Amino acid sequence: MLRTTLIRLTLFAVLSAPTCAEDVTIPIRAERMMVTWTLGAALHTVHGEFEVQNGLLRFDPESKSVSGDMTIDLTTGGSGNAKRDAKMRNDVLETAKYPVAVFTAHSVGGHLNASGTSHVVLCGTLFIHGARHELTLPLDVVTRDGRVESGETRFSVPYVAWGMQNPSVFLLRVSERVDVDVRMIAQPPGQPSSHDY
């Protein structure tokens, strides 16, 4: 369910690229990404996170096309409860068969301001649990003097509709959708490799 989290990473990285006429290659650094999820339940709300794997994207500023894949390690999904997390990985995500989720970016829409907050969208395909799903993600990006300082997105994943098991039991009912939050923090100023996001 939460695995779709990987999606937002792509957009943050792409928008961190400087404006120029030539293609830009952007390495994605997992340590600068925060992917969290929230699952509503009858008695309480469950919060958790996933680890992101490093990746690489290529962005064409003129056509606004994007190529490259981003990967999330679904085996790292956790909420702080070992029994619940084992059920999520084994029964819902089935990580023994589908250990990762891969997002392939296609295009970016909207205008990125040189300074201030911009609202853009990233379009692509998420491959998870053996199937592909088209996704359009809203993204808020904060820039200063042409450099991305941070970016974040929130979206909902209908994991049951996408073929994954609902982990509800008789007395504990959970939502059939999971909310995913992704935040990117850019590399601190003064450090090498300005494209390393």
At 12, list the tokens.
């943050």
Position 176 in a domain: yes
Position 190 in a domain: no
Position 197 in a domain: no
Position 191 in a domain: no
104 pLDDT above the threshold of 80:
yes
Position 34 in a domain: yes
| pLDDT tens profile 144-173 | 876 767 778 888 889 999 999 998 876 678
Position 11 in a domain: yes
Return the DSSP state at 174.
Answer: B
| pLDDT tens profile 46-94 | 999 998 886 666 767 677 777 777 788 999 999 999 999 999 999 999 9
Residue written as token pair 């003064």: 190
Position 35 in a domain: yes
Count structural domains, the chain. Answer: 1
Domain that residue 143 falls in = 2-185
- Strand, helix or coil for residue 180: strand
- Strand, helix or coil for residue 23: coil
Position 56 in a domain: yes
CATH code of the domain containing 140: 2.40.128.110
